[in-house]
Amino acid sequence: MQVATMPQPDNSEILRRQYAEDGFCHLPDFFPLDEIQQIYDDEMELFAYQLRRHGIPEADWRDPAGLSSNLRALFNTDMEAYLGAARQSQLLPSIHNLTTSPKVVETLRSLGLEAPVVSTKPVCHYTTEALTIPGGYNRTPPHQDWRSMQGSLDGVVLWIPLIDIDELSYPVEIIPGSHKLGLAKTVPHVSTPMVMDERVNNDDFVPAYPKRGDLVILSGFLVHRTSDAGDERVRVAMSLRYNNAAEPAYIEHAFPTPYTYSYQLELLFENFPAKNQVRDMFSALAS
């Protein structure tokens, strides 16, 4: 059994009712493929810059084996460079353009988010066993994203694959209807509070197999996890989180956020940049 897709309905009422009942919806062919491909290419170029810095030959990024080979090569050579590229991918203009695109915003409104606001930065996922950070994690346990958002009660997550997802590409597994449980009991986990609740059954998880261009929308309260079923390929996906600024509880709590943003006051690299480096950069720009 797997999560069913549904055609994009002409009547937004149909979509809203299904989402309210199941806590999710899977919309096929939501995004133009060229838009998804551009995001993928932009992300991979960040890793490519670091591979070239180390003089590591690049395989074909659009080939699954090549993608896996490239990311593993950088990961094994310079983990900090790998992590830096992964973090930088969250800041790509192509992703932020999609995040605030009229079609996305209108779909959020059709699900009842009268005044959609972005909850936090996009999250880019590169999932395979070989890319597990020592002492960290590469797959998420059963969880509810609302705990990381703690915003409006109707907050949602958009899960967007940048490759086709199949049985062996670490698919997302969900429990349809589990959003109606409210906030589930959890235990600590290195990645996120892990749902450990007598009302949640392992046998109830159902995998989703979205393709490139598809959109999966999840309630912040829907219990879901990353499947352990995967091979050497890298699952590339991203997730976007939104709150509703018009939701009464969110207003009452004065628009809270669990995220903290600050910066290190000291220079990251001593004596950098030197005056001549700044001058030379602008001279090159003017030439």
Question: Distance between CA atoms of 150 and 260, rounded to whole angstroms?
Answer: 13
Give the pLDDT band of residue 12 (cuts 50, 70, 90): confident
The interaxial angle of helices 79-88 and 64-77, nearest 10 deg, is: 120
State the pairing for strand pair 224-226/123-127: unpaired
Chain CA centroid to CA 135, Å: 21
CATH code, 12-259: 2.60.120.620
Going by C-beta distance under 8 Å and a sequence separation of 6 or more, which residues neighbour residue 31?
98, 160, 213, 214, 215
Q: Helix 79-88 to helix 33-53 angle, to the nearest 10 degrees? A: 150
Place of tokens 């600590």: 188
Instruction: Please report where in the chains the tokens 């590169």 appear, as a residue.
Output: 126
110-154 pLDDT, tens digit each: 999 999 999 999 999 999 999 999 888 788 999 999 999 999 999
Please report, for the chain, the start and end positions of each structural domain, with discontinuous segments joined by +: 12-259
Q: What is the pLDDT of residues 65-122, one digit of tens each?
A: 999 999 999 999 999 999 999 999 999 999 999 999 999 999 999 999 999 999 999 9
pTM here is 0.93
Strand partners, 26: 216
Tens digit of pLDDT for each residue in 161-193? 999 999 999 999 999 999 999 999 999 998 889
